[in-house]
C-alpha cells in the first residue's frame, strides 16, 4: 500500500483532525451529561459510557497510527515494531492498542443496544419505565458490558496460540492476524468470526427493537389525531421527550451500523484469504471516525443537550 508524499500528509492530517474531533466532542458530551442534573438518568449514564469508549479511541488508538505514519515520513523507515507481530517480540504496542480498539467497539455496540432497550421500555411501557429502568441496574449493566467486551477483545489470544496482533500497513491500525504458522486453522477461523457474529447479532437485535419502538410511536401519533382530548388523557402514552430520545437512538443505530458493516465484511473476507488492502484502510477508519459522530447526532436531535453544550 504505497502512496505519494502528498497522500501521506493528507492521511496524517485526517488522523490528527480526527483525534481533536473525538476528544472535543466526547469531552463535551461527558461535561454535559455529568455536569447537568437533567442528564443524571439511566439514559445519561449510558451516553457517558459510550462517550468514554469513544474517548479511548481518540486517546490511544488513533495516536499510535499517527506516530507510526509520521515516523515513516520523517525517517523514511517504519518503526521497528511494525515489522513484527506480537508473538515475535517481548512487548508490542498492539498488545495494548488492539484490545482497546476491539473492546471499545464492542462497548459501543452493547451500549447502543442497552440504549435501545431503555428507550423501547419508555415508549412501549411508559408506566413501568421508572420501576424497571433504575440507575443502579443501569450501572451494573454498564460494568458488565465493559468487562464482557474487553474479555471478548482479548479472547483470540487467550483461546488460540495461532492468533497475534500486528500493525497493518494497509489499514494503518493494529489488526488480529495469524502468528508464525502458514496454514489457517479452523479454530482460529472460528474465533475470529466471533467478532462479526457478536456484533451483527446485537446490531440486528437493536434494529428490530428500534423498528418496533418507531412503529409504536407512529401508531400512537395516529391515535392521538383520531381520539378526543379526554380519551387521550386517559390512555398511558410515552412523553414527547421519550419519543424524541427513541428517534435519536434510532439515528445512532443507523450511523453505527453503517460504520461497522465495512469492517465486518473485511474481517470475513480476510478470514477467507482476501487481503483487500485499500478497502481495509477505509473500513477501519470509517469505524474509527464513528467515535465523533455521537455528539453531532446529540446536538442535532436533542435540543436540551444542544443548549447545555452551548453553556
Q: CB neighbours of 127 closer than 8 A, spacing ≥ 6?
A: 236
CB 20 within 8 A of CB 292: no
User: What percent of the chain clears pLDDT 70, i.e. is strictly above it?
Assistant: 87
Q: Would you give the distance in Å from CA 89 to the centre of its chain?
A: 30
In terms of Cβ atoms closer than 10 Å to its own Cβ (0-12, 13-18, 19+), residue 170 is middle
- Is residue 232 pLDDT above 50, yes or no? no
Query: Could you tell me the pLDDT band of residue 126, with boundaries at 50, 70 and 90?
Result: confident
On average, the pLDDT of the chain sits at 84
Q: Residues 26-84: pLDDT tens digits?
A: 999 999 998 888 888 898 999 999 999 999 999 999 999 999 999 988 888 889 999 98
Q: Residues 252-270: pLDDT tens digits?
A: 888 888 888 888 888 777 7
Query: Could you tell me the pLDDT band of residue 94, with boundaries at 50, 70 and 90?
Result: very high
Determine the pLDDT at residue 303.
73
Query: Could you tell me the pLDDT band of residue 99, with boundaries at 50, 70 and 90?
Result: very high
Q: What is the mean pLDDT of residues 234-239?
A: 58
Q: Would you give the distance in Å from CA 298 to the centre of its chain?
A: 15
Q: What is the mean pLDDT of residues 298-307?
A: 75
Which of 57-61, 217-221, 228-232 shows the highest mean pLDDT?
57-61
CB 23 within 8 A of CB 51: no
CB 69 within 8 A of CB 8: yes
- Is residue 17 pLDDT above 80, yes or no? yes
Query: Could you tell me the pLDDT band of residue 240, with boundaries at 50, 70 and 90?
Result: low
Determine the pLDDT at residue 1.
47
Domains of the chain: 5-222+237-310 (1.20.1070.10)
Q: Residues 161-210: pLDDT tens digits?
A: 888 899 988 899 998 887 654 455 556 667 777 887 888 888 888 888 88
Residue where the block lists cell 456484533: 199
- Is residue 234 pLDDT above 60, yes or no? no
CA–CA distances in Å: residue 303 to residues 137, 213, 241, 245, 285: 27, 21, 10, 11, 29
| CA-CA-CA-CA dihedral for 142, 148, 154, 159, to nearest 10 | 180
Q: What is the 3-state secondary structure (H, E, C) of the chain?
A: CCCCHHHHHHHHHHHHHHHHHHHHHHHHHHHHHHHCHHHCCHHHHHHHHHHHHHHHHHHHHHHHHHHHHHHHHHHCCCCHHHHCCCCCCCCCCHHHHHHHHHHHHHHHHHHHHHHHHHHHHHHHCHHHHHHHCCHHHHHHHHHHHHHHHHHHHHHHHHHCCCEEEEEECCCCEEEEEECCCCCCCHHHHHHHHHHHHHHHHHHHHHHHHHHHHHHHHHHHHHHHHHCCHHHHHCCCCCCHHHHHHHHHHHHHHHHHHHHHHHHHHHHHHHHCCCCCHHHHHHHHHHHHHHHHHHHHHHHHHCHHHHHHHHC
- Is residue 139 pLDDT above 60, yes or no? yes
d(CA 14, CA 140) in angstroms, rounded, equals 37
User: What percent of the chain clears pLDDT 90, i.e. is strictly above it?
Assistant: 34
State pTM to two decimals.
0.86
Determine the pLDDT at residue 76.
85
Amino acid at each position: 500500500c504505497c502512496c505519494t508524499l502528498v497522500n501521506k500528509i493528507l492521511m496524517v492530517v485526517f488522523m490528527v483532525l480526527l483525534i481533536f474531533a473525538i476528544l472535543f466532542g466526547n469531552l463535551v458530551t461527558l461535561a454535559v451529561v455529568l455536569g447537568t442534573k437533567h442528564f443524571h438518568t439511566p439514559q445519561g449514564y449510558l451516553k457517558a459510557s459510550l462517550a468514554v469508549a469513544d474517548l479511548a479511541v481518540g486517546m490511544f488508538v488513533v495516536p499510535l497510527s499517527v506516530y507510526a505514519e509520521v515516523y515513516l515520513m520523517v525517517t523514511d523507515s517504519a518503526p521497528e515494531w511494525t515489522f513484527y507481530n506480537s508473538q515475535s517480540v517481548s512487548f508490542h504496542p498492539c498488545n495494548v492498542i488492539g484490545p482497546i480498539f476491539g473492546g471499545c467497539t464492542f462497548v459501543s455496540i452493547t451500549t447502543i443496544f442497552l440504549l435501545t432497550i431503555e428507550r423501547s421500555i419508555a415508549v412501549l411501557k411508559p408506566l413501568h419505565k421508572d420501576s424497571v429502568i433504575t440507575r443502579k441496574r443501569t450501572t451494573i449493566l454498564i460494568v458488565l458490558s465493559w468487562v464482557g467486551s474487553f474479555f471478548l477483545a482479548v479472547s483470540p489470544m487467550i483461546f488460540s496460540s495461532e492468533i497475534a496482533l500486528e500493525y497493518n500497513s494497509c489499514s494503518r491500525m493494529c489488526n488480529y492476524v495469524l502468528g508464525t504458522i502458514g496454514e489457517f486453522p479452523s479454530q482460529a477461523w472460528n474465533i475470529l468470526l466471533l467478532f462479526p457474529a457478536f456484533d451483527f447479532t446485537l446490531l440486528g437485535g437493536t434494529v428490530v427493537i428500534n423498528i418496533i419502538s418507531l412503529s409504536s410511536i407512529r401508531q400512537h401519533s395516529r391515535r392521538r389525531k383520531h381520539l378526543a382530548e379526554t380519551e387521550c388523557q386517559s390512555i398511558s402514552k410515552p412523553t414527547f421527550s421519550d419519543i424524541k430520545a427513541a428517534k435519536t437512538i434510532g439515528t445512532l443505530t443507523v450511523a453505527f451500523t453503517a460504520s461497522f458493516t465495512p469492517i465486518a465484511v473485511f474481517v470475513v473476507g480476510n478470514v477467507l484469504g482476501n487481503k483487500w488492502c485499500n478497502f481495509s484502510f477505509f473500513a477501519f477508519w470509517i469505524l474509527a471516525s464513528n467515535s465523533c459522530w455521537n455528539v453531532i447526532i446529540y446536538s442535532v436531535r436533542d435540543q436540551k443537550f444542544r443548549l447545555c453544550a452551548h453553556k
